[in-house]
Amino acid sequence: MKRAGLRVRVIAGFAAGALALSATMALVSFQVVRQSLLDERERTAVRAAYYDASVVRAGLGTSRDPDVVAVLRTLDTGENRRALLQRDNEWYARQADTGAAVAVPPELQRRAAEGVPSVQRVRADGTPTLVVAVPLSESVVFYEVDSLRELEHTLSVLTVVLTLVAVSTAFLGAGLGWYASRYVLRPLRRVADAAEEIAGGASKYRLDPAAEPDLGRLTTSFNHMVDELSTRLERDRRFAADVSHELRSPLQTLAAAVSVLERRRDQLDDRTATAAGLVSAEVARFQQLVNDLLELSRGDRPAERVPVDLPELAGQVCRERGVDPAIVDAAPGGPWCVDRRLVGQLLGNLLDNARAYGGGAVAVRLRLSDGVGTIEVDDEGPGVSPEDKPLIFDRFVRGRSAGARADTAGTGLGLALVAQHAAAHGGTATVTDRPGGGARFRVDLPGCTP
Amino acid sequence: MSAVLVIEDDDRIRLSLVLALEDEGYAATGAPTAEEGLAAQRRSPADTVLVDLMLPGIDGFECIRQLRRSDDVPIVVISARDDTHDIVAALEAGADDYLVKPVAVKELTARLRALRRRARVALAAEVPVLAFGDLEISPEAGEVRLRGEPVAVTRTEFQLLCELAEHPGRVLSRQQLLQRVWGYDGGDERLVDVHVGRLRQKIEDGAGAPRRLVTVRGLGYKLQR
């Protein structure tokens, strides 16, 4: 499973923390409020019951055989309270509904019979109820059954409110987490921006250690790393330049001396002339090899894009190599925004490759659509074997396909440069089979419309 | 016979170039330092000078500047350095062309021939003076005048100006100019850009936007009437 990002984790943490805190607060305050409301309610109920009991006692005391129901009717009990009287195990109520007696739990009756006044909360007909028992004499007990429905309603409203508060606190926590993570990650984003800048070629870009004191170590080591890197790059570049100079100077002597030899070839005896021819050919190849190697060592340079008339360039590259420019098939369109030198070399290398391994190019197609320029070079050779396809753009890989042992004039770097020049434009180079036999090399160059 | 001076500190390169150029029918002489080269050029001016950039004492860039001060002789740089920075600096110093070592002798002689060619303008016979406002170009006399005052331009700059003047108001692409002025079929476009820059210093007024020799973005250059 993919690990969640730091940002997501911070937000989730803040939300969970806020939820836990607010839920605990809500639970505690609910309990406290509930308890105090219940206690208050119970005290009120008991006070009312004692008052009513004293009224009933007075009413019963006035005659020898009093009308119990009438006495109960004199009580002002309101809607929520119902008064009951138990005398000699017989129940009396104001109305005929002695059904309320069912609500009186036996435990309470037993204790009342022993002359102990008591209070108990029970659930009767699905509603919470408070029963208060007040013994009047040995055989008479006055009960009051008090409905707690209103209190329950109040508490359920309170529950809803507290839940809402807890949930919104969690959301608030998440928001705070989002803000905090953004704030905390901002210096890291600056580091990321700097890294991008440097990767994009701004090698002079450095972070200011004073800007983020908390990230002092990161900025220092980041800057140190960039310094190291650019020193190393500079050293490599210098090395390439030095090698270039050291190899090119003797090659210049060779090139000029070989031309003197070539000019006098007919004055030489056969053996010397053959040897001079070999030297001349190898000097040419060595020269190409040095140029290709230097080109490869400069691979990190981005393409310098300018508008280029590609059909014109392709025709010119063909002419330079003695290839009929008529094989260039270009769809009409504006100029391509590419590095002229790189694309010219890329085209030349594809043509050279076709000549060395595929009997010469038979078609060069140029297409430009949606900003992606596509170059295809076809040959009618034996094609590229499936096992060679993934390797063919590597350095020093030469075709081993059936019967096409490499023309020894190649450097083995031509297609590697094709791939590198395509990559310098953010593009790709691939090889497929040409319908009808042969190989088809294809280069896609994005961003070709200005 | 055309005379070529080779200023190159590497003895073997110098000797081989002199031999090869002599084979091609040039009267070639060599100089191992810029100082000796400059002295030789003062004594008996060659028609073309080949200069290496890394020279002991006075370096190639300074050597080009000093040659340019007294002469419009075509100067070709032959260097092992192929940094854009070096190429542009050498061209800005006044070089007419830049070749990266190793150069095939055939290629070198092709460049020398192209630079030696006289500015040839088709209209020259009929129109002695091409006027672009207060800028006057006389192809026959090889003269450029700005508000009547003669402007010192090199041979290459003059030919570049004539090519543009031949097509007043029309855009010539860098590749077309490379072909017509330097004889390149597909060369380095920086050659054109740097030479245009040098020309502008001579025929434009101040550092503002060019009025006469204007850039047409993505297409090339044109000379404004």
What pLDDT, in 10s, does the model give residues B193-224? 999 998 898 888 877 788 888 888 878 898 88
Residue B221: helix, strand or coil by DSSP?
strand
d(C-alpha A368, C-alpha A443), whole Å? 12
Share the mean pLDDT of chain A: 84
Check A252 against B78: CB less than 8 A apart: yes
Fold of A214-297: Helix Hairpins (1.10.287)
Separation between Cα atoms, residue A39 and residue A53, nearest integer Å: 21
Mean pLDDT value of segment A153-172? 91
Same fold for the domain at A6-154 and the one at A306-445? no
What confidence score (pLDDT) does residue A127 get?
80
pLDDT tens-digit readout, B144-168 = 888 888 888 888 888 898 888 888 8
pLDDT digits (tens, 9 = 90+) for A365-409: 999 888 899 999 999 888 888 888 888 888 877 655 444 444 555
Average pLDDT of the segment spanning A84-104:
73
Residue type, A103: A
CB-CB contact of A99 with A84 (8 Å) = no
Q: Using an 8 Å CB-CB cutoff, list chain A residues near B17.
A: 252, 256
From A236's Cα to the closest Cα of chain B, the distance in A is 14
Encoded tokens for B203: 């025929």
As a whole number of angstroms, the distance between CA A66 and CA B86 comes to 129
Q: Do A252 and B17 touch (CB under 8 A)?
A: yes
Residue A300: half-sphere exposure toward Cβ, Cα within 13 Å:
12
Residue B62 in this model has a pLDDT that exceeds 80:
yes
Residue in A245, A260, A307 nearest the CB of B20? A260
In angstroms, rounded to a whole number, what is the distance separating the alpha carbons of residues A286 and B5?
28
The mean per-residue pLDDT over the stretch A233-254 comes to 82
Question: ipTM, 2 decimals?
Answer: 0.84
User: Residue B122's pLDDT is what?
Assistant: 46
Q: Which of A361, A403, A411, A407 is nearest to A385 (CA)?
A: A403
Residue B175: count other Cβ atoms within 10 Å of its Cβ.
21
What CA–CA distance (Å, rounded) separates B185 from A443?
Answer: 24
Residues A208-227 pLDDT 10s: 777 777 777 888 888 888 88
Residue A41: what residue type? Answer: R
Q: What is the pLDDT of residue A80?
A: 74
- Cα distance between residue B211 and residue B205, in whole Å: 8
| Axis crossing angle, helix B105-116 with helix B11-23, rounded to the nearest 10 | 70
| Range with lowest mean pLDDT among A175-189, A233-247, A429-443 | A233-247
Rounded average pLDDT over B137-149: 83
Q: Do the beta carbons of residue A351 and residue A323 sit within 8 Å?
A: yes
Closest approach of B14 to chain A, Cα-based (Å): 8
Q: Which CATH number, 3.30.565.10, 3.40.50.1100, 2.60.40.1170, 3.20.20.140, labels domain A306-445?
A: 3.30.565.10
Q: How many CB atoms lie within 10 A of CB A273?
A: 16
Which domains does chain B show, CATH number per domain?
3-116 (3.40.50.2300), 122-223 (1.10.10.10)
Q: Is the pLDDT of residue A97 over 70?
A: no
Residue A374 has which token pair? 């596509």
Contact B16 A260 (CB under 8 A): yes
* A52 pLDDT more than 50: yes
CA distance linking residue A170 with residue A186, whole number of Å: 24
CATH fold label, A6-154: Beta-Lactamase (3.30.450)
pLDDT confidence tier of residue B225, bands split at 50, 70 and 90:
confident
Number of residues assigned to chain B:
225
**Residue B71, SS3 per DSSP:** coil
Question: What is the mean pLDDT of the segment spanning B20-38?
Answer: 95
pLDDT score for A226: 86
Taking residues A426-436, report their average pLDDT.
90
Chain B nearest C-alpha distance from A292 (Å): 13
| A257 in reach of chain B (CB within 8 A) | yes
A394, A389, A368, A370: which is closest to A441 by C-alpha? Answer: A389
Long-range contacts (CB closer than 8 Å, 24 or more residues apart) made by A223-230? A226/A198, A229/A198, A230/A203
The reply to whether residue B175 touches residue A312, judged by beta carbons under 8 angstroms, is yes
Instruction: Find the residue in A nearest to B176 (Cα).
Output: A312
Lowest mean pLDDT of A261-275, A413-427, B111-125, B183-197, name the range. Answer: B111-125
By the 8 A CB rule, do B96 and B156 touch? yes
Q: pLDDT value at position A101?
A: 65
**Residue B175: its chain A contacts at CB < 8 A?**
309, 312
Q: Report d(CA B79, CA B77) in Å as an integer.
A: 6
> How many C-beta atoms lie closer than 10 Å to residue A116's C-beta?
11
Which residues, 6 or more positions from B35, have their beta carbon under 8 angstroms from its beta carbon?
A: B57, B58
Ranges of each domain in chain A:
6-154, 214-297, 306-445
The residue that leads in pLDDT, B213 or A99, is: B213
Instruction: Give residue B119's pLDDT.
Output: 44
Check residue B80 and report its DSSP letter: S
Among A24-28, A214-218, B112-116, which range has the highest average pLDDT?
A: A24-28
